[in-house]
Amino acid sequence: MIRHQYPGPETNRRGIILLLVAMLMPCFFGLLSLSVDLGQALEKHRQVQSTADAIAVSVVNRFDHGYRPSQLLAHANSVRSFHLPESTALGWNLGAIDSVNNPPTSGSYAGNSSYYEVILSTPVTGLFAPVLGLSGSTRVTARAVAGLEDSPVVETIVALDPCGDPGIELSGNAQLLIQGGILTNSGRGGVDQYGDPVNLGLSGNAVSLVGTSDVKAMALSVRGGVSGLSNISNYVPDAPSPLRANIRRMLPDPLASLPIPSPSNTPSITNWSSKQSSNNDSEISPGIYSDISNNPNRTLRLKPGVYVISPLKKGDGLNIKGSLIGDNVMFYITSNNFIGHNYDALDGPVNPTVAIPVSESDCALPPNLTGEFNPVFGAVNITSNGETIHLTGINDPSSPYNNMLFFQRRRNREEVNINPRGSIPSVVHGIIYAKWAPLSIGNNGVISLNNPVAVGSFDLGGGGQMLIIPNDVGWSLLQISNLVE
């Protein structure tokens, strides 16, 4: 008798498992292939995103350098196709630029013209998806937004004249040590931070460092070029060069809206009807003076308040040869026509920086639009020899002149001369504002400032040493490009 053996339970389980494996194998390989394709797409997106980020920051930098919007797309494409051996790995030459938008069209910065949006995309072809009958190509898109934002470095010297010749000058063995930034609108020539020539149509140099003079600052922003590149270093030891030249962007006047002294905003002056004359007393009160002066070995003390200098003749002004001591004071240096006229207030709109000069003929101060005839302007000459110079500006947060020490009428182009001699540091703590005038500091004196200056041009000469520990007064002129989205 023949006996048949039927499969046992164990054999049945093996068969079922093998059958299930055979049935699920396509699904397994399908999921594996899709995972590989998804990983490839994610890696491609990472690379394209790095391209978008690099382009957005570069476009903003070019905008900061004065490039027109029509030039930015071409520049963006040059960044996209940047060919270095490592550029493929970094993703710098991947993707096609779909658009460069100013302002951004979406996101937190939509409608804000201070920011640029870059959108890129590139096709991704799957390795396994076509085998499974799925579409073999799709696109990944990346978006980046960048813009100019306030730099953490505080402005200390701002030279506003676009024709400053030069805008910033150091000579002899002068030393300028600034734990902050220096900016100049001067569009004169020289070289940029890479040693490449800069030519914006004006002769000379925007920044001129001659002799053994040197600048140590945390930022040096120059619309034109510099001479004496090797004399520029960072205030922070071993930090990169602070220089950014050929910026081209014109800086606005941070104090353009500062009002002219008047009875309503200058309560320390009680008599606005007539000028007083300085009589070299050892102590004087706020008021309107034709001249404030003293002689060597004499000390002139100033009571707190505002001192208006409206000269009678050329040479009148603040002429100091001895010691000058005053806390909570401000000098307004104007013309002989101050009383009974409104000329000073009409100087504000006279602002050549609204037009960028491209030749020497563009550098003349525009004609007087007020009808003022042959004004005589006051001057500042502090040339004490080892005497004490101690001045601090207005200390009143409710006053429009808070922190202000020298306010020179905007059209007054007389040089502001502060040239003390001796090893005792001269304290000049307050904002110095002389919109179209040069500020000259020199000789062998040591000057300590703790507030920024906004002048036409700046000159530090001789063996002078100037140390500025900046006070942030909110000008926000020094900006850097930041990636924000």
pLDDT at 345: 86
Kindly state the helix (H) or strand (E) to which residue 124 belongs, with its residue range.
Answer: strand 115-125
Kindly state the helix (H) or strand (E) to which residue 155 belongs, with its residue range.
Answer: strand 155-159
* Three-class secondary structure of residue 347 per DSSP: helix
* Three-class secondary structure of residue 465 per DSSP: strand
- Give the span between the Cα atoms of 467 and 453, in whole angstroms: 13
Q: Which of 302, 288, 291 minimizes the C-alpha distance to 260?
A: 288
pLDDT at 347: 81
Q: Which of 102, 149, 95, 144 minimizes the C-alpha distance to 124?
A: 95
Question: b vs e for 274-283, b when ≥16 Cβ sit within 10 Å of the residue's Cβ?
Answer: ebbebeeeee
Q: Which residues of the chain have pLDDT under 50?
A: 32, 82-93, 128, 131-134, 352-354
pTM: 0.80
pLDDT at 277: 82
* Three-class secondary structure of residue 75 per DSSP: helix
pLDDT digit string (tens) for 14-60?
Answer: 666 666 555 655 555 555 455 555 566 676 777 778 778 878 887 78
Kindly state the helix (H) or strand (E) to which residue 317 belongs, with its residue range.
Answer: strand 317-320
Q: Which two tokens stand for residue 92?
A: 């710098």
pLDDT at 23: 60
Any idea which residue has 């000159």 for tokens?
459
- Give the span between the Cα atoms of 385 and 388, in whole angstroms: 9
pLDDT at 302: 96
Between the alpha carbon of residue 71 and those of residues 51, 77, 249, 339, the distances in Å are 19, 10, 15, 51
pLDDT at 88: 42
pLDDT at 198: 92
DSSP annotation string for 2-63: -------HHHHHHHHHHHHHHHHHHHHHHHHHHHHHHHHHHHHHHHHHHHHHHHHHHHHHHH
Give the contacts of 262 (CB within 8 A, at least 6 positions apart). none
